[in-house]
Structure 1
Amino acid sequence: MDMQNTIGYPARDAEVVELVDVVKTYPDGAGVRALDGVSVAFGRGTFSAVMGPSGSGKSTLLHCAAGLDRPDSGRVMLAGREIGTLREPALTKERRRRVGFVFQSYNLLDALSVWHNVLLPQRLAGVRPDQRWAREVIARVGLKGRENDRPGQLSGGQKQRVALARALAARPEVIFADEPTGALDLASGREVLGLLREVVDSLGTAVVMVTHDPAAAAWADRVVFLADGRMVDELADPTAEKVAERMMAVSAR
Structure 2
Amino acid sequence: MENTAVVEVHDLVKRYPGASVRALDGVSVAFGRGSFTAVMGPSGSGKSTLLHCAAGLDRADSGVVRIAGEELSRLREPRLTEARRRRVGFVFQAYNLLDSLSVWHNVLLPQRLAGVRADRGWAEEVLRRVGLAGFERERPSRLSGGQRQRVALARALAGRPEIIFADEPTGALDLASGREVLGLLREAVERTGTAVVMVTHDPAAAAWADRVVFLADGRVVGELAAPTAEAVAGRMTAVSAR
Q: TM-score normalized by structure 1?
A: 0.94
RMSD after superposition: 0.8
| 1:87 to 2:71 alignment | no
Q: Which residue of 2 aligns with 1:27?
A: 17
Which residue, out of 172, 184, 187, partners 1:198?
187
Residues of 1 paired with 2:206 and 2:56: CA distance?
23
Residues of 1 paired with 2:2 and 2:119: CA distance?
30
Deviation string 1:82-126 (CA, Å, 9 cap, x unpaired) is 012310000000000000000000000011110000001111111
Deviation string 1:191-215 (CA, Å, 9 cap, x unpaired) is 0000000000010000000000000
SS of residue matched to 1:84: helix
Runs of 4+, deviation exceeding 2 Å: none
Deviation string 1:156-194 (CA, Å, 9 cap, x unpaired) is 000000000000111000000000000000000000000
Deviation string 1:48-84 (CA, Å, 9 cap, x unpaired) is 0000000000000000000001111110010011012
Residues of 2 paired with 1:73 and 1:156: CA distance?
38
Q: Which residue of 2 aligns with 1:57?
A: 46
User: Aligned in 2, Cα 1:67/1:145: closer, same or farther, shift over 3 Å?
Assistant: same
Report the alpha carbon displacement of residue 151 of structure 1 after superposing the two structures with TM.
0.6
Report the alpha carbon displacement of residue 12 of structure 1 after superposing the two structures with TM.
4.0
Residues of 2 paired with 1:72 and 1:152: CA distance?
38
Task: Report the residue type matching 2:10 in the other structure.
Answer: V
Q: Which residue of 2 aligns with 1:164?
A: 153
| 1:211 to 2:212 alignment | no
| 1:154 to 2:133 alignment | no
- The unaligned stretches of length 5 or more in structure 1 are 1-10
Which residue, out of 117, 133, 152, partners 2:122?
133
Report the alpha carbon displacement of residue 31 of structure 1 after superposing the two structures with TM.
3.5
SS of residue matched to 1:142: coil
Residues of 1 paired with 2:227 and 2:12: CA distance?
26
Task: Report the residue type matching 1:36 in the other structure.
Answer: D
Residues of 2 paired with 1:202 and 1:122: CA distance?
21
Residues of 2 paired with 1:21 and 1:189: CA distance?
33
Name the % identity. 79
Task: Report the residue type matching 2:29 in the other structure.
Answer: V
Q: Which residue of 1 aligns with 2:221?
A: 232
| 1:100 to 2:89 alignment | yes
How many residues are paired up?
A: 242
Task: Report the residue type matching 1:15 in the other structure.
Answer: A
Deviation string 1:221-249 (CA, Å, 9 cap, x unpaired) is 00000000000010000000000000000
Q: TM-score normalized by structure 2?
A: 0.99
